[in-house]
Structure 1
């Protein structure tokens, strides 16, 4: 098969993007106020929220990260994700945090913080939030550009009139510029409209890729044998045989569960959607619809990872896999090791790939044991990694990281036929654009709204504020470009997310959850939680980046290594095999997920403890949530029934007076599917295997049923459902945008714990009491 992209593939990519940019330009005429730019005027319906936020939430970097995790650690550990089901379902149906946050009418998390705590905390939190978010986002362009270069087989260097420019930089500049254009045209309005259109266009394209993969590979003949061929303790499919997995294991799942509860809504990468719905009920129902929204998307990503692994490890595809490995290795070497000091190593690697014979120099370089982790299925990768490390250990680490990230994308280009190659490329471009626009908008908005605006203390004109928002958002793009250009990745993408996210997420959760639900939470407790989390996370980043070159050599030179090793390894011993700290020369012993958990735990304890010590009076929740006498004119009053045996099920499902008959059916469908199928099957399988363990072949059949057959049936229905629902709701969005009345005071300022546009309303109420 010719692995290059053909004209038809490029047309499949280009035509939808022309449509999207045309619609974005048409949508910009609706932007008249700051709230339009930040929250799309708060007039979105549930389907637009569900489709657009889903498209924005699953970026291209997320796909590459999942490929990397699945390829290295398999799919068995994800079985334990079903522990999330009852918790996630309860949070979704009750609108946990989402509903109350929308009731505050805050456009950013910082605005809520000033309403709930203080202006000083808003500024402090925004500094940490923007630092964490911008650095976390700053590798998105790198991963996305590198994916397109490897998948599309683009040259590493492009020549223009005698100038030799890295293609990596050109691709990043192209897509960042496109994203800045979309955001600048209309902020959250154009972002939400384009994301919704991209989401609707994606539904049939996901189905095409899924069908192509199922035609190419046989489950029983190709995929299943490949997935079953793993060493004991590292099973791809058996969740009771994963005790030797280090990074993605049961502890990783536990930390994710803990984070889902205590860090609800804390990550603000898609914060524009949190305030975009027409009311709190529509915001919650958009999240409920998210249970069914994914359709073929999740199934496609899983199948692509399985197909990539099968192609690279099944003897049936041995020749193609060998060619893919050689192509990947050579491209990654030239990508990472471009400096003159690597000339000799590159030359010997090229000679080895051409002849199959190792020179004496290559034998010497690759025989040095710089790294403990070896993969018997990837001898070429390990050989080149050691050879590069003989000159510069960090280059070896970066080569290993890039190789593992781009392994599945390279394999997919060898797998997918003409046309389908372009379809998948189009989907990846959609995901890249949607996430870039959303994240740049979020982090840029936080800097302006939650740092500049409260420090300034007085209002901008709408024109000034919109200009500043566009300028700062462009600045985020520039920072991401240069960070991606020079930052060398050495860890899994998901681990990078964990450690950079922990700068903010380590202590943000209790500030949000406590602020929305606990009257006793104080600014002092919030300050303590955020500070502890950020210090632990930053310390972890520094330790990880300096371990190989500085910390470990220092411990050896000062002869402190034996003592420190004994202490560190002794602390983790009671938690083995799921937490296993080993003091080795090539990697910091505590991984990013473990640092993240420690930061969260300490943050929760400090928030509760210090709030109890410093709290003197209860906070006025009704005023902040616009409930009771503070309800805004024109909004329906929600009747909250007392909890009794007769009303318990309604409380559990989140049903209140706002629910229509259709809403109740939707809530019950989510409950029954999640509890009876998702969590019910999990409980049955755990109990069954505790009594009589399944053989691996049974787990292979279960994997097929649970991850392919049932989701495939649901995807057929949801593809039609959300295509129609999203299209109708998008038309309604444009109608509401044309009819709404703008309030120029709704600009994100807070005066005396009250939003500026609510001050007159609150003063009238409290004056009359």
Structure 2
């Protein structure tokens, strides 16, 4: 890192944090601290929420997957495209959840099931969440330590320890400051500003990489693979063990089943101005991910080319020397590509990527700290108290809990030795909670016959089997099921138990109108829609299929419809291409040209377009956010307390 790199890396970070500090004065209630006053618009939600997936650990995880599967895995991913979009466009789960006005998912569980279920799920979510989060600060700190070329161990104040431990302490301290200063108000604004800056920086990185590498060099490296492990031909991947078509299909089922179940960004899920804004935030995030995904994939293929092409042999030797100084073989595998990226980027551009890493670390870690710390207070402490916290006392306890999560993450990251891929660890720790509650969420929001007994049965089965899977993987690295396979099995069993036990124990239908504030239970001052006045005309069959309803303005329909059409084109390409290849396989020379256009050209185009589009939308969203916050009416009873299946602030 040169002086120019450090200036480029630190300047946007400092500017973003100065603006974030300004936001603290807008926190006047628990609802502000927890959910940003529930006044965020679609662009603010999509950009800020996307920064949770922009930290160094996410780059490392994607590098890890790409280094084992290449472009070939993307072919099978097109099978799931339209399904995921229908989930987003229809507002599956997120729309009805926002209608409940719950601050946390477990608060919804008390509204729908019982206080006991809220307590247990709150504690379980907290336990699974801090385990899942535990490796994130450590991996992010390791990535930046090796990216900066630091030694594996350093001595500071007479204490010798791995370098990443000191960096992890520094990064967690900064993230903790962000989370404590203004809760979600500060976090969502900082993440949005970071996202705007990162989008523009992505374009700079793309241009630099295109100048450094040509497609012929990349293809020569990607083509040099053993039979059955192709990075280009998806029909020559039978020897790839973990990241294959089974990984994609099982991951799709688990993702739909666990929609909104994972609470690492709990505040965002209740922060939308209206249920429709929450839905459109999810739709817009799909557009934005197209651009961001292009940068990560491009860096991965360029790093692999740098490591394996004869033209870059001297640089590769330097990388291998640095990797050889790492004692842990698993860490060696994880850090090889980040070290390569750090060495291949020219002066100035390295600082640009460093800024993206740092902003992602601070924004992502602050979001995790806020979410898991808040869940412990809201879903464990609050339900146990007969007398609700006072507003100032409540905010103080929330901040103390967030500090506790940071301390745990530091100790866990310093002591735990990782034995699995990052994405596999995330899959299995997520399943501890999601494996059981997915059925309780979907059944609770959409099925009036679902019962607390059914929810308990699904929860116990899902949690027990998932924990057993973690233990089995730790005790036996050669355990036949990987993290995704364990999650898929748990999902199927939990759904079956929820349905069967609910039917056996149902004694009467639940009042869904009261839960969702519809009909006689509607709240007059709660905004319902935004944008153009919706049309009440009868919906087209295609609109019904993909979930477009009367709340969609003309612009919303274009945004969602074009996204669905784009995804559908790739699914049709998948169907035609798969059929064609099974009948008459394409020549090997076709695949490099195919991925040059589809996996390289299209994503780069979207990175540039979305960078400009979301910069405008993000600035507008921030302005609207402060306007709504300045005019909101503070209600200190809106603190997550539930009495007799109703939120405390709604009881007349």
1:246 aligns with 2:254: no
- 2:382 pairs, out of 441, 453, 462, with 453
- 1:656 pairs, out of 536, 546, 549, with 549
Q: Deviations over 1:564-616 (max 9, x none)?
A: xxxxxxxxxxxxxxxxxxxxxx5223222221111111111111111111111
Deviation at 1:295, TM superposition (A): 5.0
- 2:513 pairs, out of 618, 622, 639, with 622
Cα distance in structure 2, aligned partners of 1:174 and 1:515: 42
2:651 is paired with a residue whose SS is: helix
Deviation at 1:291, TM superposition (A): 2.1
> Does the 8 Å CA contact 2:65/2:243 hold for their aligned counterparts?
yes
- 2:392 pairs, out of 441, 454, 463, with 463
Q: Deviations over 1:132-175 (max 9, x none)?
A: 11000000111011001111012333344555454222101111
Which residue of structure 1 aligns with residue 629 of structure 2? 737
Cα distance in structure 1, aligned partners of 2:348 and 2:54: 23
Pairs within 5 Å for 1:172-571: 172-220=168-216, 222-330=217-325, 332-333=326-327, 399-547=328-476
Which residue of structure 2 aligns with residue 126 of structure 1? 122
Deviation at 1:647, TM superposition (A): 3.6
- 1:136 pairs, out of 115, 129, 132, with 132
Deviation at 1:131, TM superposition (A): 0.8
> Does the 8 Å CA contact 2:55/2:140 hold for their aligned counterparts?
no
Deviation at 1:44, TM superposition (A): 0.7
Deviation at 1:626, TM superposition (A): 0.9
Q: Would the alpha carbon gap of residues 756 and 587 (structure 1) be closer, same or farther in structure 2, given more than 3 Å must change?
A: same
Q: Would the alpha carbon gap of residues 246 and 642 (structure 1) be closer, same or farther in structure 2, given more than 3 Å must change?
A: farther
Q: Deviations over 1:22-45 (max 9, x none)?
A: 112110000010000010000111
- 1:156 pairs, out of 152, 155, 176, with 152
Return 5+ residue gaps in structure 2 as ranges: none
Which residue of structure 2 aligns with residue 757 of structure 1? 649
Which residue of structure 2 aligns with residue 364 of structure 1? none
Return 5+ residue gaps in structure 1 as ranges: 334-398, 548-585, 761-769
Cα distance in structure 2, aligned partners of 1:727 and 1:453: 36
Cα distance in structure 2, aligned partners of 1:517 and 1:704: 44
Which residue of structure 2 aligns with residue 673 of structure 1? 566
Deviation at 1:410, TM superposition (A): 1.0
Q: Would the alpha carbon gap of residues 275 and 161 (structure 1) be closer, same or farther in structure 2, given more than 3 Å must change?
A: closer
1:72 aligns with 2:1: no
1:98 aligns with 2:27: no
Cα distance in structure 2, aligned partners of 1:539 and 1:160: 40
Q: Would the alpha carbon gap of residues 640 and 454 (structure 1) be closer, same or farther in structure 2, given more than 3 Å must change?
A: farther
- 1:711 pairs, out of 603, 616, 638, with 603
Farther off after superposition, 20-29 or 683-692: 683-692
> Does the 8 Å CA contact 1:299/1:708 hold for their aligned counterparts?
yes
Deviation at 1:651, TM superposition (A): 2.0
Q: Deviations over 1:600-655 (max 9, x none)?
A: 111111111111111111111111111112111134668999997x6423322433
* Paired residue total: 649
> Does the 8 Å CA contact 2:199/2:611 hold for their aligned counterparts?
yes
> Does the 8 Å CA contact 2:536/2:550 hold for their aligned counterparts?
no
Cα distance in structure 2, aligned partners of 1:409 and 1:424: 11
Q: Deviations over 1:466-494 (max 9, x none)?
A: 10111011100000000000101111111
Q: Would the alpha carbon gap of residues 510 and 442 (structure 1) be closer, same or farther in structure 2, given more than 3 Å must change?
A: same
> Does the 8 Å CA contact 2:287/2:610 hold for their aligned counterparts?
yes
Which residue of structure 1 aligns with residue 580 of structure 2? 688
1:418 is paired with a residue whose SS is: coil
1:253 is paired with a residue whose SS is: helix
Name which one, 1 or 2, has greater alpha-carbon Rg. Answer: 1
Cα distance in structure 1, aligned partners of 2:74 and 2:111: 39
- 1:593 pairs, out of 484, 489, 493, with 484
2:388 is paired with a residue whose SS is: coil
1:170 is paired with a residue whose SS is: helix
Cα distance in structure 2, aligned partners of 1:614 and 1:155: 61
Cα distance in structure 1, aligned partners of 2:157 and 2:135: 30
1:696 is paired with a residue whose SS is: coil
Q: Deviations over 1:359-410 (max 9, x none)?
A: xxxxxxxxxxxxxxxxxxxxxxxxxxxxxxxxxxxxxxxx221011001011
Q: Deviations over 1:182-217 (max 9, x none)?
A: 010111110000000000011111111111111111
Cα distance in structure 1, aligned partners of 2:566 and 2:508: 43
Cα distance in structure 1, aligned partners of 2:651 and 2:576: 55
1:158 is paired with a residue whose SS is: strand
Deviation at 1:256, TM superposition (A): 0.7
1:244 is paired with a residue whose SS is: coil
- 1:110 pairs, out of 102, 106, 112, with 106
Cα distance in structure 1, aligned partners of 2:560 and 2:61: 32
Cα distance in structure 2, aligned partners of 1:270 and 1:705: 35
Deviation at 1:426, TM superposition (A): 0.9
Cα distance in structure 2, aligned partners of 1:247 and 1:756: 48
Cα distance in structure 2, aligned partners of 1:715 and 1:159: 42
Q: Would the alpha carbon gap of residues 162 and 751 (structure 1) be closer, same or farther in structure 2, given more than 3 Å must change?
A: closer
Q: TM-score, normalised by structure 1?
A: 0.82
> Does the 8 Å CA contact 2:534/2:552 hold for their aligned counterparts?
no
> Does the 8 Å CA contact 2:427/2:484 hold for their aligned counterparts?
yes
Aligned alpha-carbon RMSD (Å): 1.8
